[in-house]
Structure 1
């Protein structure tokens, strides 16, 4: 099948898909229902090999597009119905074309995938939601992935002078079993980096010393994250003082939280507390009456206590003439039981009344009051805004929503919401002490207006802005250099394009203003990854392997070693850019350029272990490795990647073999 790709629909998403596809050097045919304007034609000049005006669901139109020769079709019109009709029509004409469809219907998409085969679907407005949410956080986390129930984090850390990493490590020394370095930048390089050409993903100098103000981006497992947090726990000598302080803070926090609850929640808590008190009083009353009247039974003592709690004080002590046989303190306790019982009955009445009224009239739920500080403001609450809110709630962040949307689906979110025209709502919202503001309406001009308003109100707040592309992303980045501007359709288009080449795009995140695709590969015999070491894949294709599953044993490894070699049936998940996917698709490995000179081995054991290390890390035949250690000094008869060479040198040193890297 020739390398022809069909794009149906040339809206914002379709245009970005065309741009992304052209990075792979393939032929692109496009179908658009309406004629393009002169500006749109100029934007796509040289990118589209053939443009057909017509209905993409029409089989005659599809035949004009050489559908029988198309490797994949990206169906991305704004009409979900048209997209599904087109997918079915294409499958009838060509059973082999891969279908990548724009659709939010998850259940329908799963059914169509089973029925049509080689089918995947995405909702473009929800793909970048994680990127929006994580950009709003002021924590180190810039990516959070869930792989078979395990959390994998991508974190960014700017080092301080007292950081344990400073002066104590080379960059490569920070790699551990549960952590991999993705990027290392000097402070001066970051300052100058905005005007420089971007470096290739996952290409950093491994021999540099780690210094203060360096910025390091790394991926780690949840196990490593918890271990680091555990190690930073307070010392035992201070624990008692901290516990007392924590107890005091918890009491104050509990009272504050109780006062902030709505009426329904307060009634429930009072009812629970009252029931607990009544149970205690029943036990005390039963014991006291049994002690004072030993001849009575336990049941009789319990009955007297229950009668008093139900308001029966007058039945037992109602006579005007004092009862000398019952002491005054016991009569006073009996009166206390009656008062407590009456109060408890009142609480029960209130709870029942509230429940009946709620079920009868469906009373509107009272929303939490707007937070005043250290919160994140979401402006615009469509599909993107709702997904961003869900992610932020998973991180236990305080969120305030501003929206003009009054649809019923918003009522499902237990969040403080300010309704109304967004510019007016923004003026009245508590922005002075907000942690971040995420502007994610689908109107680019409105987003620009709101972004400028936020900067005037609070210039220090973290600002995340959604755009729909068409050059506005780059222009906004120059206008607001400290803001994080994310082109929603530009990001989504890279996921659609990766899927068009048969890759399974699991997720996306943003690293250094670049879209990173979390991509799954199931290794086949004719795959460009087959029989390669993970070191060759990582450094030759500029990807970060984060998950490996052996096809035969089904054993799973997170952040696998560079020494593993892929076989048919294995599964590999990597972090990759669209350029990395292009190199993998074409099998264009970056050539290794480092050589290793072996100078000396201390004894026969060192020679034996050294040969094993050379074979394991470089992937060469063991006989080749042994011959390389026979007549020293000599260079290894093959080239290595810099990270490979340094790791091999360090391993040989541990085995008492002296080696030198030659670049």
Structure 2
């Protein structure tokens, strides 16, 4: 096991001590590291009264200035968090930091996605987050108050975190043991028996417990993979021709035309008939002029027909004396062709005008305000717009409320009320609403909205966005049933975790705890090297949900506990901030269970039993075979509970008798 690095190597620098910066300092200090800070002014008012005592060194100055960074001794810091409220300052400071230190990890607060991607390639060891958008899924899910508590996309698969209460008619009730709920597409996260207080304790459940009515179960599941264009079968030219030829037969063409005619609107039918007539006249005109004047070329013939068709009669026959003889019947036909073409052009313009008007109407038209069981979203800034997108994706009816005209980029299909908040709340069917989200940039306004909403609809779920911790605590006391979420507190945990070199893929709340979906790349000095996924999961209190041996190998969702991590492996886990802290420090929970192996029914059983011991426990195969040769005997080292019970089960399948002992027994 790798020892935690010395304290001198664990310094982190936070630039910008606004609300986000102060929350980042507080979270970083929970890791037990040195935290220094830079701000352009000497802070007089702190969101956290104890924060000045947590900062090891504080520097006043502009973090974009080389002199200020040198004064802070940038070279002794492992990572720098550039989290001022000015994105331009953060980006400028990132370049200054990289010019002084080629290796330091840079975490930037920025919403410029395209620029962030370019900077990642340019600067290296760089990651950017938008602090206002990270918590958006947590707000959206808090408003739903349904089974889904988190969702994100991984390897083109939608993963959902679901919490359900088992009812008597549920398929699992009285029929399944908890450990059997784990499959290759699902992992059990927590189990709370009926009548007990809910808590999020990964692996705190007993594997052999039967699922009963009233139990609360939280699990993560993977949906079916998206079918991309790359996954479609590639056809050869011969196959494409065969497929095309089967569709070009006379019955197939007649059937297709008949279907188009029946399903088309009246306008579309007029357009089709007009197009057929004009095409016929064009062909007839070309043939007649070619027969009458064989000396002119085909291109000139087609050009004459096209000119007449587009109303160009005067270009050919507008002179007093014709330069060439034209029979009277061809002259009359040319007049009819021009008149028909003018009518056709008029029809075409009418159809195009109708399309433009309809498209514009659909673009500006808003959906009607839902009548009941909807979400009222107050505040359509960047956070509100992100929440609106998520609610739409989740197919949850909602209506947006904003005091001024919101960003034009807001999709036109979103129901919207633009008015003063007091008046707007009377227009959104608040009495029948399911939830009310108050996510404006003013936490006092959010409180006012929540109080008005509670007075009108006491049963509605209230979700309130706050910024200052003290204000959040006061609101939680005033409205104990409301879900009060600190925007910067949620984002700060992602920023702090990213400072240690991990990639934060998603953030969501579950049982009043923030969970981070975190991606690891196993480095030679990591505390993860050589561990089984079982040891990672039960030792650090996290849930591995993806493992990939190498970039050219397929990734495995819900991987087996028996996989051993090697340098270069990729792993994605769900973890609270405490779990990430334990990984960073290499602090594994103690193993407390001994497996007593009693006897094997045959030589083949002993061989299979040794293989199972080596695979599940991670010990050397020679150790496992020596143990099987000296039965009865206990496993010479303890295991974690879930690991030990699984070993007993695997040995039973190999016809080896074994039982579980405590570490004292």
- Range into which the TM-score falls when normalised by the shorter chain: 0.7 to 0.9
Q: 1: distance between equivalents of 2:356 and 2:604? A: 83
Q: Does 1:77 align with 2:91?
A: no
- Distance in 2, matches of 1:479 and 1:206, equals 40
Task: Give the Å deviation of 1:203.
Answer: 3.2
Counterpart Cα distance in 1 of 2:404 and 2:346: 41
Counterparts in 2 of 1:640 and 1:357: CA distance versus 1, 3 Å = closer
- Corresponding residue of 2:635: 636
Within 5 A, what are the aligned runs for 1:529-548? 529-548=528-547
> What's the counterpart of residue 476 of structure 1?
475
Change in Cα spacing, 1:356 to 1:394, as seen in structure 2 (3 Å) is closer
Contact 1:178-1:223 at 8 Å conserved across structures? no
Identify the residue that residue 615 of structure 2 maps to in structure 1: 616
- Structure 1 stretch displaced more, 145-154 or 269-278: 269-278
- Of 16, 31, 36, the match for 2:23: 16
The answer for the alignment partner of 1:154 in structure 2 is 161
CA distance in 1, matches of 2:127, 2:46: 32
Gaps of 5+ in 2: 1-7, 227-260, 275-344
Structure 1 contact 381–405 (Cα < 8 Å) conserved: no
Q: Deviations over 1:308-333 (max 9, x none)?
A: xxxxxxxxxxxxxxxxxxxxxxxxxx
Q: Go from structure 1 to structure 2 and tell me whether the alpha carbon gap of 1:556 and 1:353 turns closer, same or farther (over 3 Å shift).
A: closer
Q: Distance in 2 between matches of 1:363 and 1:45?
A: 55
Aligned to 1:187, what secondary structure does the other structure show?
A: coil
Q: Output one character per residue of 1:434-464: Cα deviation in whole Å (capped at 9) or x when no partner.
A: 2222221121111111112212211222222
Partners of 1:32 and 1:52 within 8 A in 2: yes
Equivalent residue number for residue 561 of structure 1: 560
Match of 2:492 in 1: 493
Q: Do the aligned partners of residues 404 and 165 (structure 1) sit closer, same or farther apart at CA in structure 2, a change above 3 Å counting?
A: same
Whether the 8 Å CA contact 1:12–1:470 is kept in 2: the answer is: no
In structure 2, the partner of 1:405 is 404
Partner of 1:169, secondary structure, is: coil
Query: Match of 1:183, SS?
Result: strand
Q: Is the 8 A contact 1:600 1:659 kept in 2?
A: yes
Within 1, Cα distance between the matches of 2:551 and 2:429?
57
Summarize the Cα distance change of 1:425–1:527 in structure 2 as closer, same or farther, 3 Å threshold: same
Residue 37 of structure 2 aligns with which residue?
30
Q: Is the 8 A contact 1:203 1:539 kept in 2?
A: no
Rounded Cα–Cα distance in structure 1 between residues aligned with 2:617 and 2:129: 40
- How has the CA–CA distance of structure 1 residues 201 and 445 changed in structure 2, closer, same or farther, with 3 Å as cutoff? farther
Out of 122, 144, 164, the position equivalent to 1:115 is 122
Shift, 1:662, TM fit: 1.3
Task: Verify: 1:186 aligned to 2:193, yes or no.
Answer: yes
The answer on whether the counterparts of 1:652 and 1:659 sit within 8 Å (CA) in structure 2 is: yes
Instruction: Answer yes or no: is the 8 Å Cα contact 1:144–1:152 preserved in 2.
Output: yes
Q: Please say if 1:171 is aligned against 2:178.
A: yes
**Contact preservation (8 Å) 2:376, 2:435:** yes
Aligned to 2:337: none
Secondary structure of the residue that 2:196 maps to in structure 1?
helix
Deviations 1:286-339 (A, max 9, x none): xxxxxxxxxxxxxxxxxxxxxxxxxxxxxxxxxxxxxxxxxxxxxxxxxxxxxx
For 1:273, the equivalent position in structure 2 comes to: 265
Match status 1:208 vs 2:209:
yes
How far has the Cα of 1:137 moved from its partner? 2.3
Q: Offset at 1:635?
A: 0.8
Q: Which residue of the partner structure matches residue 579 of structure 2?
A: 580
Q: Could you say if the C-alpha distance between residues 630 and 137 of structure 1 is closer, same or farther in structure 2, counting changes exceeding 3 Å?
A: same
Describe how 1:21-420 pairs up with structure 2 within 5 A: 21-37=28-44, 40=47, 42-190=49-197, 200-223=201-224, 272-274=264-266, 352-355=352-355, 365-420=364-419
Distance in 1 (CA, whole Å) between partners of 2:446 and 2:136 is 16
Judging changes above 3 Å, is the alpha-carbon distance between structure 1 residues 481 and 171 closer, same or farther for their aligned structure 2 residues? farther
Residue in structure 2 matched with residue 428 of structure 1 by the alignment: 427
- The corresponding residue for 2:245 is none
SS of equivalent residue, structure 1 residue 464: strand
Write the distance in 2 (CA, Å) between the matches of 1:363 and 1:220.
37
Q: Secondary structure at the match of 1:491?
A: helix
Q: How far off is 1:349 after superposition?
A: 8.4
Count residues in correspondence.
Answer: 553
Displacement of 1:551 in angstroms is 1.6
Cα deviation, residue 270, structure 1? 13
Q: 1:409: Cα distance to partner?
A: 2.2
CA shift for structure 1 position 276:
7.1
In the TM superposition, residue 576 of structure 1 has moved relative to its aligned partner by 1.1
Alignment gaps of 5+ in structure 1: 226-268, 283-344
Give the CA deviation at 1:138: 4.2
Equivalent runs, 1:428-467 vs 2, <5 Å: 428-467=427-466
Provide the rounded CA distance (Å) in 2 between the counterparts of 1:171 and 1:479: 39
Output the CA distance in 2 between the equivalents of 1:397 and 1:188. Answer: 31
Displacement of 1:177: 2.2
Give per-residue Cα distances to partners, 1:408-444, cap 9 Å, x unaligned.
Answer: 4255442110001223311332122222222211211
Q: Which deviations, in whole Å up to 9, do the C-alpha atoms of 1:340-369 show, x marking residues without a partner? A: xxxxx999887554456689x999722222
Q: Aligned partners of 1:525, 1:410: CA distance in 2, in Å?
A: 46
1:662 is aligned to 661
Q: SS state of the match for residue 217, structure 2? A: strand
Change over 3 Å in CA distance of 1:555–1:377 after alignment to 2? same
Q: Deviations over 1:502-552 (max 9, x none)?
A: 111111122212111111111222221111100001111111111111127
Aligned mates of 1:396, 1:347 — CA distance in 2: 40
Give the superposition deviation at 1:610.
Answer: 1.4
The residue that corresponds to 1:3 in the other structure is: 10
Residue 145 of structure 1: SS of its match in structure 2? strand
Decide whether the 8 Å contact of 1:547 with 1:559 is kept in 2.
yes
Rate the CA distance shift 1:281–1:69 in 2: closer, same or farther, 3 A: closer
1:62 to 1:45, Cα distance in 2 relative to 1, 3 A: same
d(CA) in 2 for partners of 1:453, 1:485: 16
Q: Could you give the per-residue CA deviations for residues 459-510 of structure 1, whole angstroms, max 9, x where no partner exists?
A: 2222222111323334433433333222111110011011111111111122
Q: Report the aligned-residue RMSD.
A: 2.9
Does the residue aligned with 2:405 lie in a helix, a strand or coil? coil
Q: Deviations over 1:255-286 (max 9, x none)?
A: xxxxxxxxxxxxxx99943257779999xxxx
